């Protein structure tokens, strides 16, 4: 639960120290013209190609795109691919790269041949030597990383098992970070989670988690059970298992497991998706945000990334659009009259596993204070329902002469906001009936309330939901605006 704009501003003041395996990603796009007569394989009529900084370098690019600063430490060979990576990272904004050169190995390079029309990967060719850095190179990596800890808010280890993150490098970095009180996130590849002992958060995907724990990991409950032993083994605070279209599940030592469903999106390319998730997690956690906020940012970043071809980056603007999407219905389609059909949209949202939020008010004259509460409420959920007092209800609460605008006008203004997914008009003095029907995951009110005085808090909490109080914007009041307009105030 968070104020997205405030979080973005905090991210811009943070620095992530990213260490890991750098690689050059190349994508060759074309159309499948025919099947080769020499072998039962498609022939690709090449139309275009592009090159990206990949692996841990893609993590660094995403960290910078989201808005944080990134210090990146990686390994290249003494070759053309290494020079290209060095040049591209050197030109990247908000990335400071420290690259160790190992003349004895080639720079890792991956070339993917893709059918553009079908968004299908046909073949990948790799140039690499996936052996651990040894001797002097390993020490150079350690010497490059440790001095940078003084400038870092968080450390992210991106392990592709290509040689950078040896057991010795991992141990030196984690131990030094812990001494400074700096959190460490690891995107692991080794099934031996003990080598990452002392990290704050491990982020395996489901396949990696299954291999490491020998569990089915097919439900939230199964993941939570297997994660307990894994957290003991790795001496970490939490484990996040990414599950593709099934979303993400985080298990922490304290509290209940947190599951965030995947956004329903059309998938273009999953290349580098884990990099984007790791970057969003690191940038968010660097601000001191809680687990759930970090997961919601990571889930939104994943939804943006899979819609792009290749190893793509996700910007803060794109994240904002995903978390606070543009209105997907015409305003009139978002309005439900008192006693109208709420069940249909609620049933569909629940089927998709979406998190439903609720707030309410008269919203007689919409002002910046209202907008702040609505924006914060929408950032805490996937779909926001706004309960709107009817004309009669508003008159009983506010007195004669109110509302200034009738309920339809107020509903249309609310429905036009990108933060609002549904406006439900109610006739009663309180929205208790609506809250009982909706059973929201998040109930939001302004900070001039306390939890115990929020109508419906018992209902929401009884169903596992939470009450969120948003600090009010001082100096903004509908009553004051009305008095001023009528000449009753200065």
> Quick one: 56 exposed, middle or buried, by C-beta within 10 A (0-12, 13-18, 19+)?
buried
Residue 187 a catalytic site member: no
DSSP track, 66-126: HT-EEEEEEEE-SSHHHHHHHHHHHHSTTEEEEEEE-TTSPPPEEEEEEETTTTEEEEEEE
Sign of CA dihedral 411, 417, 420, 422: positive
Contact between 373 and 444 (Cβ < 8 Å): yes
Please identify which of the residues 21, 275, 364, 421 carries the catalytic annotation. Answer: 275
Neighbours of 400 (CB within 10 A): 5
Tokens of 324: 């606070």
DSSP track, 259-290: EEPPP----S--TTHHHHHHHHHHHHHTTT--
Residue with tokens 């609620």: 346
Rounded Cα gap, residues 29 and 46, in angstroms: 6
Q: Residue 205 has what DSSP assignment?
A: B
Rounded Cα gap, residues 486 and 62, in angstroms: 52
Which H or E run contains 479?
helix 478-485
Neighbours of 208 (CB within 10 A): 21
Phi, psi of 373 (to 5 degrees): -65, -45
Catalytic positions, written as ranges: 275
């Amino acid at each position: 639960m968070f104020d997205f704009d405030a979080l973005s501003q905090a991210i811009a003041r943070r620095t992530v120290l990213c260490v890991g395996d750098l690689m050059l990603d190349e994508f060759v796009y074309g159309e499948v013209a025919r099947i080769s007569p020499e072998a039962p394989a498609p022939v690709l009529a090449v139309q275009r190609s592009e090159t990206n900084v990949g692996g841990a370098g893609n993590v660094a690019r995403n960290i910078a795109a989201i808005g944080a600063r990134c210090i990146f430490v990686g390994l290249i060979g003494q070759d053309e691919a290494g020079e290209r990576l060095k040049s591209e990272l050197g030109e990247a904004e908000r990335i400071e790269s420290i690259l160790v050169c190992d003349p004895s190995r080639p720079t890792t390079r991956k070339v993917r041949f893709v059918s553009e029309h079908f968004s299908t990967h046909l073949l990948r060719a790799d140039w690499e030597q996936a052996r651990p850095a040894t001797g002097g190179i390993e020490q150079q990596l350690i010497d490059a990383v440790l001095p940078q800890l003084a400038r870092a808010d968080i450390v992210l280890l991106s392990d592709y098992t290509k040689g950078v993150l040896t057991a010795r490098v991992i141990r030196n970095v984690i131990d030094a970070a812990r001494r400074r009180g700096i959190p460490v996130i690891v995107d692991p590849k080794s099934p031996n989670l003990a080598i990452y002992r002392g990290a704050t958060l491990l982020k395996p995907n489901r396949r990696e988690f299954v291999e490491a724990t020998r569990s089915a990991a097919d439900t939230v409950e199964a993941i939570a059970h297997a994660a307990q032993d894994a957290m003991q083994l790795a001496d970490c605070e939490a484990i996040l298992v990414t599950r593709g279209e099934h979303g993400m599940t985080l298990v922490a030592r304290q509290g209940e497991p947190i599951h965030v469903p995947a956004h329903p999106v059309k998938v273009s390319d999953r290349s580098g998706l884990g990099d984007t998730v790791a970057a969003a997690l690191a940038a968010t956690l660097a601000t001191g945000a809680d687990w759930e906020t970090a997961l919601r940012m990571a889930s939104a970043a994943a939804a943006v990334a899979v819609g792009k071809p290749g190893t793509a980056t996700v910007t803060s603007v794109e994240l904002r659009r995903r978390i606070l999407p543009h209105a997907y219905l015409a305003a009139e389609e978002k309005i439900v009259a008192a006693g109208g059909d709420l069940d249909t949209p609620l049933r569909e949202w629940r089927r998709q596993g979406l998190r439903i939020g609720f707030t309410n008010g008269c919203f007689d004259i919409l002002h910046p204070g209202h907008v702040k509460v609505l924006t914060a409420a929408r950032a805490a959920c996937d779909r926001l329902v706004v309960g709107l007092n009817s004309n009669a209800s508003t008159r009983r609460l506010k007195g004669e002469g109110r509302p200034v605008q009738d309920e339809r006008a107020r509903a249309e203004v609310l429905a036009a906001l990108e933060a609002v997914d549904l406006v439900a008009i109610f006739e009663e003095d309180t929205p208790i009936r609506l809250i009982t029907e909706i059973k929201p995951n998040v109930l939001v009110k302004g900070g001039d309330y306390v939890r115990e005085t929020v109508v419906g808090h018992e209902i929401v909490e009884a169903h596992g939901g939470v009450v969120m109080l948003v600090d009010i914007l001082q100096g903004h009041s509908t009553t004051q605006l009305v008095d001023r307009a009528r000449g009753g105030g200065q």
